[in-house]
Chains A and B, each alone.
Chain A
Amino acid sequence: MSAATTSSALPFRRWLALSVAGFVAFFAIWWLIAASGLVQRQFLPTPPEVIEKFAALTQSPFVGYTLQQHLASSFGRFAAGFGLAVLIGVPLGLLMGWFRWLDAIVTPLFDALRFVAPIAWVPFAALWFGTGIGGPVLIIFSGAFPPCVINAYRGAKFVERRFVEAAQTLGASHYRMITEVLLPASIPSIVAGLRISAGLGWQSLVGAELIVASSGIGYLLVKGQANISTSIVMSGMIAIGIVGFVIDALLRVLERRINARRGIAG
């Protein structure tokens, strides 16, 4: 039978129909399980109940702010942590790709810290930064940092040798080599890294806000839990999911644009 291959791209109408069907199926199954009483109603509200609560949270404040305000607060922390990760990670990765000795020093450290979850840094975040934005930013940074470094490093390491050699014969300094040869050639890898980094950074938000008691979507989640309000918890999860999805979609568009400009299939 002809299914013994991977199929070629679907016609748009078919794709749309199936996607919509899949989307609907997700909610239908959720609704069914919720309505069936398999799980106590309090702990698995139906989709409309959650949507209602979600809408309510955008109108009336919970733990001091509306849903959007909490999201804005969280996004600020995320932006700071992610920005810092990019600003430090990308140059570090490029430098590691160029200077062997730096690679030798940093890589073992990196491999060691790779398995340490961002959340494990929470006690140190409180110890070192106390209050304010420093603590959450540290957690988000610890999640967002590795992909920035790794992808910049890979990009720099796998630049075509002839470009590097050509620049060397022309007598390029280290600085010019990195900024004018390695960096441009690494852009696709770096941008791919940014996407992963943003995803991990945004995901670290809930852990980051464990030491926060003022605002934020992670804080809202915990407070919803303390109020035995599963719909608030799920609204928080949905809000985190939506923003995470949007950030990823935007970066994917950026990635595709950059790759298209450089003639790489995206």
Chain B
Amino acid sequence: MKRQIAALAAGITLGFATTAASAQQLTEIKISYQPALYWALPFYVAEQKGWYAELGLKPVFSTFPAGVPQIAASASKSWDVGGAGSVPATLGAVRYNLLTIGITNDESYGNALLATAKTADGFVKNPSSIKGQTIVLTANSTGDYAVQSCLAKWGLKKSDVTVKSMGQAEIISAMSSGNADLGGLWAPNTYTMEEKAGAKQICSGQDAGAAVPGALMARADYAKENPQNVAKFLAVYLRAWKWLNAHQADGIAMMKKFYEQGGVTISEASMKKEFSTRPTYDLAAQLKIMRRPAGGASEVDGWFTKIGAFMQANGTFPEAPAASKFITDEYMKMVDADPKLKAFANRAN
């Protein structure tokens, strides 16, 4: 009897040891994002589907209410990689040496200037009537960039309007209660305002000819020490977009859950619109837009240079960062060069 118990105990211990050993093979990677945003959906999908584990990664997610605290948190190394808007990503490059290693999506349509139901038609017919108005927006954000690009499109200067900066929630409160007529918002807040308060989108970044990308980021020191993990992180993200684009119906179901977790309930039509208005990039496309011709600038460089100039003009920093310094396709190239990762990143299921 004793021998049997001993054998059983040994068997159980061995069992634990092997699972522990295989569990140890998963390396932790700290990923940050903001909840209830279209470009963050792949993180959710990938985790639900267990794709991180397939590459030996164990993601530890941290969420932030906005880009600024997310960037600030990188200073204490509390996350390794993540996604954010291009404006916070640029700020992160200047302040904390954050690299931009890929593009989450083209959200030019999703960052816009909205007007209340009462005033929208008037502003659309006569944009110069925006002169002297108050615009509420979140400073140092992609929404800010879209609004100022729209003003430029209409020949207006920042000094022609009064800009009041506040969080997206405050903007929604102010506009829905009629205390502000014009506001800069990003999706899905744009859809919330349209559906629940009858506001109208009168000009988006796209309308103003300003490309507003979203950025995938990595801490420079982390990327230097763990290039493989960064490449794997990218491969998982790319696969998730492939899957979402191939299975939109299922994707929208997951989006609904993901958005609800973040406190956003918008109609299915709006969720479909997210997919249809915000292009994403697969591996080949990412490499293409990030490719730098001999001694020249890539398409992505061009986008971020404009954004840097905008932030410099805002007074956020004295000098915009050189795109070539913080934007790198090195890790995308690593995914491309590794046949296993490349195949993984291009899987649509």
Contact = CB atoms under 8 A, between A and B. Distances in A.
A touching B, CB within 8 angstroms = yes
B115 to A, nearest CB: 16
Interface in B145-180: 167-170, 172-173, 176-177
Contacts of A211: 64-65, 69
Contact of A227 (B34, B35, B76, B265): B265
A123 B72 contact: yes
A130 B76 contact: yes
Contact of B196 (A129, A210, A224, A227): A227
B313 interface: no
Contacts of B265: 227
B12 interface: no
Nearest to B262: A63
Contacts of A123: 72
B158 to A, nearest CB: 24
B73 A213 contact: no
Nearest to A219: B65
A262 to B, nearest CB: 45
Interface string A129-157: 11110000000000000000000000000
Contacts of B79: 130-131
A264 interface: no
A93 B34 CA distance: 41
A222 B69 CA distance: 16
A42 B32 CA distance: 35
Contact of B76 (A129, A214, A225): A129
Contacts of A227: 192, 196, 263-265
Contact of B77 (A130, A132, A212, A219): A130
B95 to A, nearest CB: 10
Contacts of B263: 62-63, 223-224, 226-227
B270 to A, nearest CB: 14
Main secondary structure of the interface of A (DSSP, over half): helix
B267 interface: no
A225 B172 contact: yes
A242 to B, nearest CB: 22
Nearest to A63: B263
B177 A131 contact: no
A228 B77 contact: no
A210 B68 CA distance: 12
A105 B264 CA distance: 50
Contacts of B69: 126, 211
Contacts of B68: 126
B24 interface: no
A128 interface: yes
Interface in A209-266: 210-214, 219, 222-228
A2 interface: no
Nearest to B73: A130
A38 to B, nearest CB: 14
A222 B78 contact: no
A170 interface: no
Given A211-B64, A225-B173, A127 B261 contact: no
Given A43-B177, A64-B261, A228 B197 contact: yes
Contacts of A219: 65
B77 A226 contact: no
Nearest to A224: B263
Contacts of B72: 123, 126-127, 130
Contacts of B73: 126-127, 129-131
A106 B79 CA distance: 35
Nearest to A211: B69
23 contacts: A42-B176, A64-B262, A127-B73, A127-B75, A130-B74, A131-B62, A131-B78, A132-B78, A211-B64, A211-B65, A211-B69, A213-B34, A213-B262, A222-B65, A223-B169, A223-B262, A224-B263, A225-B169, A225-B170, A225-B173, A227-B192, A227-B264, A228-B176
Cβ-closest 7 pairs across A and B: A130-B78, A223-B263, A130-B73, A63-B263, A131-B62, A126-B72, A226-B169
Interface of A: 40, 42-43, 62-64, 123, 126-132, 210-214, 219, 222-228
Given A127-B75, A213-B34, 8 more contacts: A62-B263, A63-B263, A126-B73, A130-B77, A131-B78, A211-B65, A223-B169, A227-B265
